[in-house]
Amino acid sequence: MHTRRIAVIGGGIIGASVAAQLTTRNDANSVVLYEKESAPGTHQTGHNSGVVHAGLYYQPGSLKARLTRRGVELLHAYSESRGIRYDECGKLVVAHTEKQLGQLDAILDKARANGVPGVAIIGEDAMREIEPHCVGRAAIHSPHTAIVDYPGVTRALLDDVRAAGGEVRLGTSVSRITRQGAEQIVHSSAGSQAFDYVIACNGLQSDRLAKRSGAGKYPAIVPFSGDYYKLTPETAKLVNGLLYPVPDPDYPFLGVHLTRTVDGDVTVGPNAFLSFAREQYHRLGFNVRDALEIASSGAFWRFAGGNFGEAIDQLRTANKRSFLAGAQEFIPELASEDLSPGLRGVRAQAMNQDGTLEDDFVIQRVDNAVFVRNAPSPAATSAMAIAEHIIEEILAEDRLVEPQRGA
């Protein structure tokens, strides 16, 4: 039997999912995973809220909608099989104004079209039964929205890769991929190596690798940072699950929400700012290359010109008072001393040449190389389904694994 040599680039949860499926579902695959950091999941995978999204907001029929629901099934089953913390704590999307009340029906319609189980609009009394300290006029209740330990899932997947004979090369960066006859050559800090297939899942650096490998400049990544605060252990007891605002349908960020984590903390946030550093997680992070790339992008300035009002609104969220005000929308009894600084994340948001933000997942095949070009939230939720989609649909005729459905 011919052994297929496959390189996976990126050791976050998507890359780990791809490598695990390739190794565990076909022992004729020889898989090498490259990760430039010394540990897996150190960027978006390790700097997110830990929410397993149910699929409330995504356009029915989109990749996001389809792969989120499938991803939940796979993630839940895998977490249970490996003893990884997974908690269906539930979620309320809370309406406070007349305008927000009018938006609940549209959210409910999308959620039902996407197959979200048990979702319903509930009134104030029912809200208080679920979240006794939360105020609001009505809410979407998603009882099966969950939280999980995404870094723990990633580590377990890479353990599976190693156990099945795959290789995980930490601390090894990839500069580009070139084609030589029928082979794909991966050029890395450890030298060059030939493969039959390459699947690049490298998040915040995905556009740069794709461009250097001949896949085109767009969509290009524009990083957005999000800061979180954290409730004190005493006030964290006031929140049972997840409390979200009604989202602005014209903006890709959800606004300040209260999120319980599997560690028992409750985070408050995030805001959303343009980040001048793709991979720095302190509040004054700045990288000259990243900043110059943004400043020289015509697509970015087209985006900025059309979103000036939203940018001004986000500037108002740059201090602790704004986080407190957002949290008090849900739980008025919270005070400033109940919040302390939490983590920061950076979202790899793809932008098109015309300055529009790409809403759906974007996965591009060039010869025998596949580039995941846009995979922001809910990509962690969808990771195992994204891997399945790449292997079974984008690379379907190559039969790298036997199709596998059901979980």
pLDDT tens, position by position, 363-377: 999 999 999 999 999
Residue 100 is part of which domain span?
Answer: 88-146+221-351
196: helix, strand or coil: coil
Q: What is the pLDDT of residue 314?
A: 57
Residues 368, 316 share a domain: no
Residues 241, 333 share a domain: yes
Residues 211, 93 share a domain: no
Tokens of 197: 């297939």
* Unique residue bearing structure tokens 């059901």: 406
Please give the average per-residue pLDDT across 75-95, as a whole number. 98
Contact 401, 258 (CB under 8 A): no
Q: What is the pLDDT of residue 403?
A: 75
Domain count, the chain: 2
Residues 113, 204 share a domain: no
Out of 36-45, 138-147, 251-260, 388-397, least confident range? 251-260
Strands 339-351 and 191-195: unpaired
Smallest Cα–Cα separation from 35: which of 9, 64, 3, 65? 9
Asked if the bond preceding 270 is cis, omega within 30° of 0, the reply is yes
Q: What is the pLDDT of residue 337?
A: 98
Residue 307 confidence (pLDDT) above 90:
no
pTM of the predicted structure, to 2 decimals: 0.95
* Unique residue bearing structure tokens 């353990």: 159
Residues 168, 129 share a domain: no
Q: What is the pLDDT of residues 117-162, one digit of tens each?
A: 999 999 999 999 999 999 999 999 999 999 999 999 999 999 999 9
Q: What's the DSSP call for residue 338? A: G
Residue 253 confidence (pLDDT) above 80:
no
Tokens of 407: 């979980």
Residues 363, 346 share a domain: no
CATH classification of the domain holding 170: 3.50.50.60
Distance, in Å, from the CA atom of 379 to the CA atom of 153, rounded to the nearest integer, reads 14
Strands 369-374 and 197-200: parallel
Residues 337, 267 share a domain: yes
Q: How many CB atoms lie within 10 A of CB 46?
A: 18
CATH classification of the domain holding 131: 3.30.9.10
Residues 247, 184 share a domain: no
Residue 203 confidence (pLDDT) above 60:
yes
Residues 215, 227 share a domain: no
Please give the average per-residue pLDDT across 41-62, as a whole number. 96
Residues 109, 242 share a domain: yes
Out of 105-114, 179-188, 268-277, least confident range? 268-277
Tokens of 169: 């090369």
